[in-house]
Amino acid sequence: MSSEERIRVLLAKPGLDGHDRGVKVIARALRDAGMEVIYTGLRQTPEQVVAAAVQEDVDAIGLSILSGAHMTLFPRVVELARDEGLDDVIIFGGGIIPDEDIPRLKERGVTEVFTPGARMEDIIEFIRKNARHEEGAPQQAR
């Protein structure tokens, strides 16, 4: 698979959350699966996340959060991404997210949410099935 065909995934830690071990494990697994991963680092604003997604021309944005601000930060990233025309970029999240918040996040545009214990194979499969990566065609699971 050439670099032009590789799925490009931006991983970000929005908000004040300073714990990055989990997102680094995900980044490594996605790279090992042949994806190109851009990790923005800790304490990113939604604006920074979306600006990086635009600049890097990504197929997917993965957000990791443990701080409890997911109901504010995840929908804000979705809103800004749509404002920038990233309608075909899937946005998924992970971290400490109560089960009752997952349907609400999906209603607000988050494509999927992975909580602790999610299998790497499931995350990789989800991205491969849903990320745009063939001639810019969206393949979202909506």
pLDDT at position 134:
53
Give pLDDT tens digits for 96-118.
Answer: 999 999 999 999 999 999 999 99
CB neighbour class for 103 (10 Å; exposed up to 12, middle 13-18, buried from 19): exposed
pLDDT at position 100:
97
Contact of 14 with 63, CB cutoff 8 Å: yes
pTM of the model: 0.90
Residue 66 lies in a domain: yes
Q: Which domain holds residue 40?
A: 8-130
Residue 74 lies in a domain: yes
Report d(CA 35, CA 9) in Å as an integer. Answer: 7
Identify the band that residue 133 occupies on the pLDDT scale cut at 50, 70 and 90: low
Here the CATH number for the domain that contains residue 120 is 3.40.50.280
Tokens of 132: 């745009």
Report d(CA 62, CA 42) in Å as an integer. Answer: 13
pLDDT at 1 over 50: no
More confident residue, 17 or 9: 9
Residue 1 lies in a domain: no
pLDDT at 141 over 60: no
The DSSP symbol for 137 reads B
Tokens of 39: 């990790």
Residue 138 lies in a domain: no
Residue 90 lies in a domain: yes
pLDDT at 8 over 90: yes
Residue 139 lies in a domain: no
Residue 124: strand, helix, or coil? helix
Q: How many domains does the chain have?
A: 1
Q: Is 92 left (phi over 0), alpha (psi -120 to 50) or beta?
A: beta
pLDDT at position 132:
74
pLDDT at 125 over 50: yes
Residue 86 lies in a domain: yes
Give pLDDT tens digits for 32-87.
Answer: 999 999 999 999 999 999 999 999 999 999 999 988 999 999 999 999 999 999 99
Residue 136 lies in a domain: no
